[in-house]
Amino acid sequence: MEFGSWKVNLLETGRFKLDGGAMFGVIPKPLWHRANPADERNRIDMTMRALCLRRADRVILVDTGVGHKESGKFRDIFAIDFSVVSLETGLATLGITAEEVTDVILTHLHFDHVGGCVRNDGGALSAMFPNATHYVQRRQWEWAMTQSERDRASFIADNYLPLREAGILQLLDGEEKIFEEMELHIVDGHTFGQQLVRVRDGDVSLLYAADLIPMSAHLPGPWIMGYDLQPLVTLQEKHDLLTRAVGDGDILMFEHDPIVEAATVERSEKGFRLAHHGTLDDVYSQHVRSG
């Protein structure tokens, strides 16, 4: 899809499953199970979807999925599946090599967002994208390095320490401007210093919602992950972001929804809900036609 000066693609980097109760927090299973049926281990189907932005001088990835380094036990727990899609096959489809990637923006350092940045070659860890600058918020980096008991399982140092050792990590402080037509939006409910990416073309914006709104099912306010460190902060951040999305006509891109890539949002008497939804290309076409 052409959007401003960018070619935009959403790339599925792999499929996985997480516990449905953890994904929907205080929402009772009879409600979330309708649209997100669980397997015999109470896990729901999810994907890991990266954003790829290209123009003559840049190839940018936003998040990279889980990667291939983890053990068989880890892959079993999270039902990690690369049989249909992977980051490597997605990039190959676009004719992009790992060496051609110039920048990787990491929303945060949880394993399902950053694992694809580092590969294991016979026991030696190295950067998957050796020529790319990798951007992460300083507060997120510092939080990941504290190894908090509350969320240490989400942070695997082998996914990001090699980036610092290779000298290709850049820490950001807040909503710094790193590229034209792009904004960073910092949120703290899920984890401290999560950075969402908004790309603008005139009056239209594409917003990569990461783990603030990981799936289209998370649009209603109380539908918040049990993983979030500050759920009441998430609640306010979602309200503010969705209010802006309705007012500005933003197109949201969902990182973990296995079916819905993107959507526009409208407000009803019951709160926020999906308007146009489907693939990014279809939603953008509908949005442009409607006006």
What are the two backbone dihedrals, phi and then psi, of residue 6, each rounded to the nearest 5 degrees? -110, 150
How far is the CA of 206 from the CAs of 64, 177, 200, 236, 261, in angstroms? 18, 16, 6, 21, 12
Q: What is the pLDDT of residues 236-283, one digit of tens each?
A: 999 999 999 999 989 999 999 999 999 999 998 889 999 999 999 999
What integer best gives the mean pLDDT of the chain?
Answer: 96
Q: Are 208 and 3 in contact (CB under 8 A)?
A: no
CATH number of 2-290: 3.60.15.10
- Strands 133-137 and 103-105 turn out to be parallel
State percent of the chain over pLDDT 90.
93
Q: What is the pLDDT of residues 138-147, one digit of tens each?
A: 999 999 999 7
Give the residue-averaged pLDDT of 58-85. 97
Q: What is the CA radius of gyration of the chain?
A: 18
Place of tokens 């790193």: 178
Q: Please name which of 128, 119, 210 lies closest in space to residue 168, comparing C-alpha atoms.
A: 128
pLDDT of the residue at 211: 98
The C-alpha atoms of residue 151 and residue 1 are separated, in whole angstroms, by: 37
Query: How would you label 182-200 residue by residue, b for 16+ Cβ within 10 Å and e otherwise?
Result: bbbbbbbbbbbbbbbbbbb
**Domain locations in the chain?**
2-290
pLDDT of the residue at 291: 62
Q: Are 229 and 192 in contact (CB under 8 A)?
A: yes
pLDDT bucket at 288, cuts 50 / 70 / 90: confident
Q: What is the pLDDT of residues 226-249, one digit of tens each?
A: 999 999 999 999 999 999 999 998
Place of tokens 């992950």: 225
Q: Please name which of 139, 145, 247 lies closest in space to residue 190, comparing C-alpha atoms.
A: 139
Q: Is the pLDDT of residue 286 over 90?
A: no
pTM of the model as a whole: 0.97
What amino acid occupies position 151? D
What amino acid occupies position 91? L
The C-alpha atoms of residue 137 and residue 141 are separated, in whole angstroms, by: 6
Query: How would you label 131-152 residue by residue, b for 16+ Cβ within 10 Å and e otherwise?
Result: ebbbbbbebbbebbeeeeeebe
